[in-house]
Amino acid sequence: MDVYWQFRVAYEVISAILCFILVRFMIKPYSFTKKSRYVGLPLAFALLGVSYLFSAITYAQPSFFAEYLLWFQLVARTFAFVFLAATYYFSKKPAKTSQLLLNLTFSLIIVIIMASFLSVIFAPQFNFQNYRTASIYVRIFIIICLAYITIHVLRSHVQKPDSSTLSIPLGYILLGISQYSLLIWAVDGSMLAWWGALVLRWGGLAIFLFVAYQTFYRSQKKDIK
């Protein structure tokens, strides 16, 4: 394995680790309250971490795993942002009226994810050329999801200012620009766009980790005092 593939494997593994650390933080509100409206964020970042692991395995063994796992990571990444968008959509809805719809939505998403994985395994049309085309549409879809989430978070912050969560929309903006940079790279092969996308992804995840640390660990220390 040459240096490029080693770097890609290490980068994807570290990205996955960052996501799984975020899952550990984000599962706490659900574990305390048992309310399903808090399960969307950990599910989303768990799927995102899994997608990065699929990418890492693909880059580690590109000649053996490429076709199936590339599609697996595309499906996992797509529905990670579907979970994120759905979570933020229902976050401002009245709990009593939205609980059943939220449960049905999450259940439907999980069923579609499983069906998509099975389709990748058993459908011959899922080849590499189709993957390259699908990945472009998926990135556009992810950008739309991130734009919606960013607007939603900014509106929430304007309505109820909170300095501890002010950087959250910046994290989503960085992830959105990262996806846009990958679109540029897919179209014209710009390595500047490619490197920028990698840096921006880590930047977005780092912001979420910082916010999660402030929210959970510092609040715990204050409670102890």
Q: What is the CATH number of the domain that holds 219?
A: 1.20.1070
Tell me: the pLDDT tens digits for 173-186?
999 999 999 999 98
**Separation between Cα atoms, residue 39 and residue 22, nearest integer Å:** 13
* Tally of domains within the chain: 1
- Number of residues in the chain: 225
Asked if the model's pLDDT at residue 127 lies above 90, the reply is no
Is 58 exposed, middle or buried (CB count within 10 Å of its CB: 0-12, 13-18, 19+)? buried
Asked if the model's pLDDT at residue 151 lies above 80, the reply is yes
Asked if the model's pLDDT at residue 62 lies above 70, the reply is no
DSSP string across 194-211: HHHHHHHHHHHHHHHHHH
**Separation between Cα atoms, residue 47 and residue 45, nearest integer Å:** 5
Give the model's confidence band at 223: pLDDT under 50 very low, under 70 low, under 90 confident, else very high: very low
Quote the pLDDT of residue 120: 80
Quote the pLDDT of residue 224: 43
Question: What percentage of the chain has pLDDT greater than the value 70?
Answer: 84
Strands (DSSP E) along 127-204, which ranges?
none
Give the model's confidence band at 215: pLDDT under 50 very low, under 70 low, under 90 confident, else very high: confident
Asked if residues 200 and 173 have their Cβ atoms less than 8 Å apart, the reply is no
Task: Please indicate whether residue 96 or residue 170 has the higher confidence score (pLDDT).
Answer: 170
175 Cα distance to chain centroid: 9
Quote the pLDDT of residue 60: 84
**Mean pLDDT, residues 79-105 taken together:** 83
What is the domain range of residue 192? 3-224
Tell me: the pLDDT tens digits for 34-51?
666 778 899 999 999 999
DSSP string across 45-99: HHHHHHHHHHHHHHHHSHHHHHHHHHHHHHHHHHHHHHHHHHHHHHHTS-HHHHH
Exposure class string for 30-55: b at 16+ Cβ within 10 A, else e? beeeeebbbbbbbbbbbbbbbbbbbb
**Separation between Cα atoms, residue 29 and residue 39, nearest integer Å:** 8
**Mean pLDDT, residues 217-221 taken together:** 56
Asked if the model's pLDDT at residue 220 lies above 60, the reply is no
Quote the pLDDT of residue 21: 94
Asked if the model's pLDDT at residue 70 lies above 90, the reply is no
Identity (one letter) of the amino acid at 51?
A: S
**Separation between Cα atoms, residue 20 and residue 4, nearest integer Å:** 24
